[in-house]
Amino acid sequence: MKGNVTPIFSLIFAVSTAMLCIGITCAVKAQSLESVQMKRPDQTFSPDIQSVQLNRKGTTLGDPVIIVSDGIELICSFDDLNAGVKDYQYTFVHCDPWWQPTEGLSREDYLDSYYMEEYIRSYESSYNTLTPYIHYWFAFPSESIKFRLSGNYLLKVYEDDPELPVFTRGFMVIEQEVNIEGRVAKSANPALRPEVQQLLFQVNLGNKHYEDPYRNMEVVVSQHDRWDNEIWGKAPYMIRNNTMHFDQEGMYIFKGHNEFRFLDLKSLRYLPQKVAEISVSEGTYYVEVNDREPGRFLSYQYREDINGKYLILSEDARDSDMESEYMNIQLYLPYDKPIAGASLYVTGSFCNWQYLEQNKAIYSPRRGGYLVDLFFKQGYYNYTWAAVELGNLPADATFIDGSFADVQNLYTVRIYYKNPGDYHYRLIGRQVFNSANNF
């Protein structure tokens, strides 16, 4: 059961490299789960590639963003479970707000680099682990490769052919030109108020002139890292004093959901909460986890979480990157009967908020609940259960644990602008709002 990513090299890239960069919004309600997910920027195509992380230098739970003015790099790291060091390379593709490759641009237009590709030169073999792996890491931008333009970018990591990457990840380069202010609020609608949150915000354009913001700007609002319930395509309800107003009641409404569930796998020397058994068989760790019952019909209780993300961390080792163990996990959710007309998934940042066969739960009449097999590296993981009805998105992350307006959620606003005559969208502003700061 090594790995939890389907090898789909031929399936995806036989169609088109461009399909890697197609985005999706909250308007995906009638779209096929499989066809939509094939087009996301965050993909892993080799089952040997595990624990891909892309963070700002010095952070472990941040978002993969490069701010032009601060010079902080992004650090990408991953493990290869296939023995032997490989000559991995990486390159970049500029994309529009929907993760489609920007038409009309050559790599020389957006990359300041002589070769346009770089080799990954930092790696180290794991030690004292039952499952051997090679840990790779690299940083960018660097002296040899920089970005000329802001916007969305696709990172490709590959061996020989950039059209056959082992994985891809999306990140953003930001010019912080506009000022975004706002707050998270509860709905004024009494029927919605107990379950939803809304984002009210304004975008101050300052002294800069932007041609026809209604037509040339794209505003995207996301909740945590989720892509399947993003909201985009809305115009400000008014522009006054060079400020775009998105603070009208009901413009950006999201279900509050519930606090994330957690899985503590930092140590294999004792049984953490919810872990029923840890064993070793044929040189591999196996962990059985009994999840708590559904919280949909329970009262809301605050629980501190890490907003759906995960940390690679081992309390049993000095170096978590090189000494953390991999393990096969069976996660059990008690549930009295199969969900009619829907599939149940475990999802979160660990799988890039995707709904794959590898994180799909199967109902067990014998156990009286759902079972899902996962493959994780030691660490601390946030996750949620989400139901996908009839294979369509967005997923319902409230089906198991309900939705409450008091939940702590993060909302990110991104402002893109395409100057008339240009091929590309610039990313001119980004701001994160925490509902905990408002109620």
Query: Per residue in 212-240, pLDDT tens?
Result: 999 999 999 999 989 999 999 999 999 99
* Secondary structure element (H or E) that encloses residue 107, with its range: helix 107-110
| Range 345-356 average pLDDT | 97
Measured CA to CA, the distance from residue 429 to residue 361 in angstroms comes to: 39
- Three-state SS at 323: helix
pTM of the model: 0.91
- Three-state SS at 18: helix
Give residue-wise pLDDT tens across range 164-180: 999 999 999 999 999 99
In this structure, what token pair is assigned to residue 61? 């739970």
| Range 141-156 average pLDDT | 96
pLDDT confidence of 5, banded at 50, 70, 90?
very low
- Three-state SS at 361: coil
Measured CA to CA, the distance from residue 170 to residue 72 in angstroms comes to: 17
pLDDT confidence of 359, banded at 50, 70, 90?
very high
| Range 320-327 average pLDDT | 98
What the chain holds in terms of domains, given with CATH numbers, is: 9-174 (2.60.40), 179-256+407-437 (2.60.40), 261-389 (no CATH)
Place of tokens 């990486």: 90
pLDDT of residue 3: 45
What string of DSSP letters covers 245-304? Answer: EE-STTSSEEE---PPEEEE-S-SSS--TTEEEEEEETTEEEEEEEPPPP-TTSPP----
Alpha helices by DSSP H, 317-435: 320-323
Per-residue pLDDT at 285 exceeds 50: yes
pLDDT of residue 28: 39
Per-residue pLDDT at 2 exceeds 50: no
| Range 81-103 average pLDDT | 95
Q: Are 236 and 252 in contact (CB under 8 A)?
A: no
pLDDT confidence of 31, banded at 50, 70, 90?
low
Calculated CA dihedral for residues 107, 91, 89, 374, nearest 10 degrees = -160
* Secondary structure element (H or E) that encloses residue 155, with its range: strand 151-158
Percent of the chain with pLDDT over 70: 93
Q: What is the mean pLDDT of the chain?
A: 92
Measured CA to CA, the distance from residue 55 to residue 134 in angstroms comes to: 19
HSE (side-chain half, CA atoms, 13 Å) at 28: 30
Measured CA to CA, the distance from residue 135 to residue 377 in angstroms comes to: 12
- Three-state SS at 415: strand
